[in-house]
Amino acid sequence: MTQPDSISMILLTFGGLFLIGLVADLLGRHTPLPRVTLLIFTGFLIGPSVLNWLPDFTQDWFPVLTDIALAMIGFMLGQNLTKTKLKTMGRPILGISIGVMIMTASLMFVGLILLGAPIELALILAGIAPATAPAPVVDVVKESRASGHFTDTLLGIVAVDDAWGLLLFSFLLVAASILAGNHGAIHTLESGLWEISGAVLLGLFLGFPMAYITSHLYPGKASQAEVLGLVLLCAGLAEWLEVSYIVSAMTMGTVVANFTRHHRHRPFEELETLEWPMLILFFLLAGATLQLDALYQVGFIGLGYIAFRILGRISGSYLGALWAGQKSGEYRWMGLAMLPHAGIPIGMALLAIQSFPELKNTILAVILGSTIVFELLGPPLTRLLLIRSGDAKPHQKGHKHQTEFSD
């Protein structure tokens, strides 16, 4: 039974965290830094690496909050994959997402080999590098009130990015296992394929009933209980089935967005009212998990990982936009809007360590160290690109800034 002082500590902690979120939101309107960066940095300051103000129970709650927050994000991303949007933006989404994935992985592999990294380590890090953390990107879009072709394309790319990334990581991890002579390479590949295909099947299984309920049970309406219940059910089943909860939730959201007959935007609006308080806790506790020691330990491999990932993002989006026929300069820089790197990459790193325990210290140091850089640097660049594209307004001034990158 929980003691009274423990209950008061829980209430005080979460009350304080929500108020910190309010302050970050206000500061984000009057500074160049997005509220995501402010929340992550604040979480880092109050976390174990610096001030160590957070009670121990928050470490136990973080995995649950992560699943809930990312399932919500996945569901919300699904609304960007409607038939109408894919007809007009399908080629840019496909071209830029695949371009960024291939170039990031290729440059990472070649660059790390040139730096003297073992081939197994280079393959593993090349598989992790393309992954994007969707939550910071989505929140910066919402905070910036961005809308337009550039924004829709960016969100569409982020929506499919995890599926591409998980497939690539599975294949490269298998390749590394074969080269190292590890047993169970086929099992690793089967697990990766199941994580994607199972997630899609789960999203379809829950998405069609949800679209029917929204269309018939409450015509033109969607209750918060209905939406939240199905999103949490999706996350729980995904965890139980060991499939990607982001991909499953995204698939469910895509089905709802395409097959709900009346007011298909209503389910997403209902969830959006609950999303921000959950994301406050998620970003703060994500910041608290960042370890400053990891940044000190990255060495040349870690610095190379950061540099090659940035170069892969830039070159991949440039080539992808060129293939898709996007002549506007900002599309060729879109890779810089996809720098945030947490959550899924850390999960990939932990999975790789199971097959390569001898590389544990190096992999964790590189991924955790680079996460600090990308989580703090990524959101401001995402906001800058949204402003430069003309889709968003800067908060500090009331006029629209539409300067574009030169071709």
Q: Which domains does the chain have, with CATH numbers?
A: 4-389 (1.20.1530.20)
Among all chains, which residue has been given the structure tokens 């959201």? 253
358 within 8 A of 121, measured Cβ to Cβ: no
Average pLDDT over residues 130-153: 89
71 within 8 A of 249, measured Cβ to Cβ: yes
Record the tokens describing residue 194, joined without a space.
């199941």
Record the tokens describing residue 338, joined without a space.
């996809």
Mean pLDDT check: name the lowest of 3-12, 101-110, 206-215: 3-12
Residue that wins the pLDDT comparison between 31 and 366: 366
Among all chains, which residue has been given the structure tokens 């790789």? 352
| pLDDT range class, residue 1, cuts 50, 70, 90 | very low
Terminus-to-terminus CA distance in the chain, angstroms? 64
Look at residue 86 and tell me whether its pLDDT is greater than 50.
yes
Rounded (10°) CA dihedral 63, 68, 71, 75: -160
Average pLDDT over residues 364-373: 86
Cα distance between residue 134 and residue 246, in whole Å: 9
Look at residue 98 and tell me whether its pLDDT is greater than 80.
yes
* Nearest CA among 111, 150, 153, 141 for reference residue 129: 111
Among all chains, which residue has been given the structure tokens 């996945």? 74
Average pLDDT over residues 314-332: 87
Residue that wins the pLDDT comparison between 298 and 79: 79
pLDDT at 196: 86
| pLDDT range class, residue 183, cuts 50, 70, 90 | low
Mean pLDDT check: name the lowest of 128-132, 149-153, 179-183, 338-342: 179-183
pLDDT at 69: 85
* Nearest CA among 214, 250, 197, 254 for reference residue 83: 254
Look at residue 405 and tell me whether its pLDDT is greater than 50.
no
Mean pLDDT of the chain: 84
Query: What is this structure's pTM?
Result: 0.82
Helix axes 4-28, 35-46, angle to 10 degrees: 140
CB neighbourhood size of 138 (10 A): 25
Look at residue 125 and tell me whether its pLDDT is greater than 60.
yes
135 within 8 A of 279, measured Cβ to Cβ: yes
DSSP H or E segment with residue 242 = none
Cα distance between residue 34 and residue 24, in whole Å: 8
Percent of the chain scoring above 90 in pLDDT: 28
pLDDT at 398: 38
Residue that wins the pLDDT comparison between 348 and 252: 252
